[in-house]
A = this chain, B = another copy of it.
Amino acid sequence: MSERDESLSAERISEAEHAVMEALWEKSPQTAAEVCDNVCDRRGWSIPTVKTLLSRLVAKGALATEPQGRRFLYTPTIERAAYVGTESRRLVDRLFGGRAAPLFAHLAESEALSAEDIAEIERLLAEMKK
Q: Which residues of A contact B (CB under 8 A)?
A: 15, 18, 81, 84-85, 87-89, 91-92, 94-96, 99-101, 103-108, 110, 112-114, 116-118, 120-122, 124-125, 128
Contact = CB atoms under 8 A, between A and B. Distances in A.
Given A101-B116, A121-B125, A124-B105, A91 B91 contact: yes
A17 to B, nearest CB: 12
A37 to B, nearest CB: 20
A96 to B, nearest CB: 8
Secondary structure dominating the interface of A: helix
Given A91-B91, A92-B112, A100-B112, A106 B124 contact: no
Oligomeric state, in number of copies? 2
A87 B81 contact: no
B91 A87 contact: yes
Given A94-B18, A112-B100, A121 B121 contact: yes
Given A15-B94, A104-B124, A124-B108, A117 B88 contact: no
Given A15-B94, A88-B95, A100-B113, A120 B108 contact: no
Nearest to A117: B101
Contact of A104 (B18, B95, B121): B121
